[in-house]
Amino acid sequence: FHRLMGNVVMKPAVAISSSSSSSSTDNAVLRVYAHCTRGQAGAVTLLVINIDPHTNFRLILNEENPSAKHVTGSLLYPRDEYVLSALSLEARDIEMNGSPLHVTTSADLPPLVPKTVFTNSELVVSPHTISFFDLKGVKSMACKGSFDDKPSVREKKT
């Protein structure tokens, strides 16, 4: 989370549709958060959590939405996708972009290699996933000077 998500929080400018007419698209099963991307001026990262066990959701980034009025550039590409999934919410094994994640022998996280997408394809969120979409092509005015890579006061070394 902290590797991608910066401190500036925005209202996500997205419309949501689902693959199931019986599923709810309210906050009970799908959550969408938007932050300036850490270390990339102008870029935006979406965090999307889908706890529905059966429904795929399609996110449409809406340039006409008032909260997107200060956004220029491509909304969907290039982008890096980090999709965490498991067979169930209680599963012990987790995959990222379809590959198993295992801690290293020193109990560190493995390198988190994203899937880079260069096409203007839609954002699809599968059931039981946590997805980070690093929208590198976005040029958000709210994120223009937001690098968020400076250490906080607590992290500074003297």
Average pLDDT on 87-94 reads 81
Dist CA 95 CA 113 (whole Å)? 12
How many CA atoms lie within 13 Å of 72's alpha carbon, on the beta-carbon side? 3
Structure tokens at 22: 């019986």
Tens-place pLDDT, residues 127-155: 989 999 998 888 888 888 755 444 333 33
The H-assigned helical ranges of the chain are none
| Residue 11: predicted pLDDT | 82
Question: What is the distance in angstroms between the CA of the first residue and the CA of the last residue of the chain?
Answer: 27
Label residue 65 by pLDDT band (50, 70, 90).
Answer: very low
Label residue 74 by pLDDT band (50, 70, 90).
Answer: low
Examine the pLDDT at 5 and tell me if it is beyond 50. Answer: yes
Dist CA 123 CA 131 (whole Å)? 10
Examine the pLDDT at 49 and tell me if it is beyond 90. Answer: yes
Examine the pLDDT at 63 and tell me if it is beyond 60. Answer: no
- Quick check: 57 and 50 in contact, CB under 8 A? yes
Structure tokens at 59: 């996110």
